[in-house]
Amino acid sequence: MSVFILRMSSSHYRRQFLNSNGFISFKRPLNLFTNMGIMKKQTLESGKKSVIKSIDSPVKIAKNINAEDELKNNEELLRTTLDSSFDYLQVFKAVRDRHGKIIDFIWILNNRNLIEMIGDRVGKSLLQSYPGLIETGLFNMYVQVTETGISQTSEFYYDLEGLNDWFHQTIIKLNDGFILTGQIITERKKIEQEVYQRTIELKESKDLLQSIAESIPDMISVQEYPSRKIIYFNREPYSISGLNVDELAKKTLEERHKLVHPEDIDGMQRYSDSFKTLPDDNIATNEYRVLNRLNEWIWLRARGKVFGRDEKGNVTSIVVVVQDITKQKKGEEEIAKQHNILKQAEELAKIGSWEYNIKTKEFIWGDGMYALFNMKKGQQVKPEIFLAHATEKDLGVAEKIVNDIERSFQPLEETIYLKIDGEIKALKIKATPLKNNKGEPEKMLGVNMDITASLESEKKIMDLNESLLFMNQELNSLNSELRSFNSITANNYNETLRHVYINLETIITSDSRRLSDSGRANIRRAQSAVQKMKLLTNDINHYLELYDAEIKKELISPEINLQDILRELKEKTEEVNAKIEIEELPPLSADPVLFSKLITKLIDNSIKFRKSGVDPVIKIKHTRTKESGMPYTIITVTDNGIGFETTEKIFELFTQLPDAVKHKGSGMGLAICKKIMEMHKGYITAEAEPGKGASFHCLFPNKL
């Protein structure tokens, strides 16, 4: 909904114009009380129907020369104050049917403040935006002013199209249309009604001016010049900004400048000095920071105008309108910060953004685009630049990109290779049209990303994948051969060894009389070698079987598994009088079959490498630990055997102790234990000392 500057009706004013600074100026003085409209006091109710009440009843004022002079001064103050405020203005052009009847109006001009509030409405339909204007009679009023040329001023309450406000508006014919100025007066309605009542009662205009000033959110003051002594101010807006205006009024100009941020002192001084030569119609502006009573730096924007001069033309007083722009400045700082982050992101990601204005055909690049093309910032470019840099192979892609940007205005996503300064770059381009509320495209917005390095990395990955695939094929082939070997050793090879052993035993039994002692000894040694070979073959088979085994982890009770293990090893443990001590063990995430095989191997290892003449004592216990954030349960098997020199090689295939010749073993047992722990995503370590036994620590991760 349009919002407008407050304006009093007068039978003496002729025409109003915008001066060069965008402020309202008058061809002749405006008599505030001549033909002042009288408006009955109305209750503000959000639920009542929209109403319009014109201000056209004259108020008779007794002629008094002193009062006339005071009124003229106060009117001049009001006019100067309103000229310094931030107002709203709109210009409309009539839309007529073929019979010449006005059926709508089109926006042809909005001033900056209105655009900031509701957006740029130029070229848009008034009734499409606010169809409720017909119901409230406002549209007929606009038609009447356009057709008759008689200006109208009115106040009305509007509660359609999501609005719920009081408005004050003035409508003036302009060619085949009208100028509309006004202001939202909801927050000041009660105060204005009081002002109108006081005007009717012919109270001093000072009360009227004070009420208006207090209702304006800007900080207004009248100051002597050049002393800058404050002779008038509206208190409330100063208080809202955390400033004590009573204290400020008592301070000298130098004392007030002490509250100004050090970086803004020079600008403040130039602003103050500018009034000496400032024309009456011009506005002096300045933005600066001051320290409020909450010890906070706030941003203010001051707009000042000459209010009075002496007979020599020297400035004697000024009127200053000050606006708290702290939130605006913080917003600007945040936008600048985000822009800087976006700029850095573009540099890091090698991204550039652009936009193409369909109406003006202007192709605008962000900093990132200039970096992608190795061009100096600010150079004028056109979409055809993609054609100029495209490789011969990608000319067709470039033509499609240019066509989508300049003619078809369709969303696009393409990858194109460009030759830039002798270097081939791969750019991924993605763009989409930006449409207005009529669905018509206004701009093409796009982003370019340099994906050269990404494509090169992808190629390297593909090459590595091909190499990995080839290696996997070789590995599968080797695994297949290994399984074949395992099958042969598990069946044919073992069977052959068994036959060799039996035949040797037959020779000793049947032909012992014909064999010499050395012959029988050699046969026995051969049988021993066959037995050892069979043991080694079995252990190799057990190890290779783990590669085909599928681990099935579950939450097991280790004590139950240990009882089964001890039953299987009962004969062996009783034979050597071994004592096995088991502490209470917690539930464990493990494969029950593999866990049993692991503990069996460790117990068997402790029995095998026991001390001569000493009963073996084997202890099984647990502890907990955490490594790299991962919790582990440690199952430890400790014995009092012969021990060994601690070495990592103890878990390698076919590793045997130096004195292993005294003990039966293939060197595969601990390698199998290591493999089982790796299958559980854990690991095994050993602690030992010659003659003092050994401890094996199995670390199981605490997760299924």
Picking from 137-146, 338-347, 600-609, which range would have the lowest pLDDT averaged per residue? 338-347
| H helix runs in 84-204, sequence order | 112-118, 126-129, 132-136, 138-148, 189-200
Q: How far apart are CA 261 and CA 299, in angstroms?
A: 10
The answer to whether 362 and 381 are in contact (CB under 8 A) is no
Residue 393 to residue 408: CA distance in whole angstroms? 23
Which pair of structure tokens corresponds to residue 590?
Answer: 């493990």
More confident residue, 372 or 237: 372
Between 278 and 112, the more confident residue is 278
What is the C-alpha to C-alpha distance for residues 592 and 573, in angstroms, rounded to an integer?
Answer: 22
Per-residue pLDDT averaged across 462-474, rounded?
Answer: 85
Q: Is the pLDDT at 511 greater than 80, yes or no? A: no
Window from 111-120, 578-587, 595-604, 688-697 with minimum mean pLDDT = 111-120
Q: Compute the distance between CA of residue 597 and CA of residue 591 in angstroms, rounded to an integer.
A: 10
| 619 has pLDDT over 90 | yes
Give me the pLDDT at residue 115, please: 77
pLDDT at 58: 42
Cβ–Cβ < 8 Å for 178, 169: no
DSSP 8-state symbol, 614: S
List the structure tokens of 392.
Answer: 């011969």
- Mean pLDDT, the chain, integer: 79
CA distance 516 to 508: 10
Kindly state the percentage of the chain with pLDDT values over 70.
76
In this prediction, residues 616-623 reach a mean pLDDT of: 94
Q: Which tens digits make up the pLDDT trace of 42-58? A: 333 434 444 454 444 44
Q: Which of 347, 351, 350, 348 is nearest to 447 (CA)?
A: 351
Contacts of 265 (CB under 8 A, 6+ apart): 257
* Share above pLDDT 90 across residues of the chain, in percent, rounded to a whole number: 36
Express each pLDDT in 280-297 by its tens digit: 999 999 999 988 888 889
Residues 6+ apart with CB under 8 A from 260: 268, 288, 289, 290
Does pLDDT of 658 surpass 80?
no
Which residues partner with 683 through β-bridges?
Answer: 699
On the question of pLDDT at 489 being above 70, the answer is no
> In sequence order, which residues have a C-beta less than 8 Å from that of residue 5 and are 6 or more positions away?
24, 82, 85, 87, 88, 89, 170, 181, 182, 183
Q: How far apart are CA 273 and CA 522, in angstroms?
A: 124
Band of the pLDDT at 345, cuts 50, 70, 90?
A: low
Quote the pLDDT of residue 628. Answer: 83
**Dihedral of the CA atoms 368, 370, 376, 382 (nearest 10)?**
-140
The pLDDT value given to residue 653? 66
Q: Is the pLDDT of residue 298 over 80?
A: yes
* H or E element in which residue 561 lies: helix 558-568
SS3 content of the chain, % helix, strand, coil (to 5): 45, 25, 30
CA pair distance 519, 607, nearest whole angstrom: 34
Higher local confidence (pLDDT), 703 or 29: 703
Q: What torsion do the CA atoms of 497, 502, 503, 508 make, to the nearest 10 degrees?
A: 130
Backbone angles phi, psi at 300, to 5 degrees: -125, 150
Contacts of 75 (CB under 8 A, 6+ apart): 29, 30, 31, 32, 205
pLDDT of residue 221: 83
pLDDT surpassing 80 at residue 656: no
Mean pLDDT, residues 340-366 taken together: 80
* Contact criterion met (CB below 8 Å) for 46 and 84: no
For residue 267, is pLDDT > 60? Answer: yes
pLDDT digits 0-9 by tens, 17-40: 333 333 333 333 333 333 333 333
Q: Are 636 and 697 in contact (CB under 8 A)?
A: yes
Residues 6+ apart with CB under 8 A from 193: 39, 41, 42
The whole-number average pLDDT for the span 590-600 is: 93
Q: What is the pLDDT of residue 90?
A: 87
Q: How far is CA 182 from the centre of its chain?
A: 40
Nearest to 155 by CA among 42, 21, 20: 42
- Residue 198 burial class via C-beta count within 10 angstroms: exposed 0-12, middle 13-18, buried 19 and up: middle
pLDDT at res. 592: 93
Give the total residue count for the chain.
Answer: 704
Alpha-carbon separation of residue 565 from 602, 607, 635, 654, 697 (angstroms): 11, 14, 15, 25, 18
Q: What does the pLDDT average to over 67-96?
A: 64
Residue 83 CB contacts under 8 Å (≥ 6 apart), including other chains: 23, 24, 25, 283, 305
Query: Parallel, antiparallel, or unpaired for β 617-627 and 579-582?
Result: parallel
Neighbouring C-beta atoms of residue 181, cutoff 10 Å: 25
Q: What count of other Cβ atoms lies within 10 Å of the Cβ of residue 609?
A: 22
The whole-number pLDDT of residue 483 equals: 65
Dmax over CA atoms of the chain, in Å, equals 164
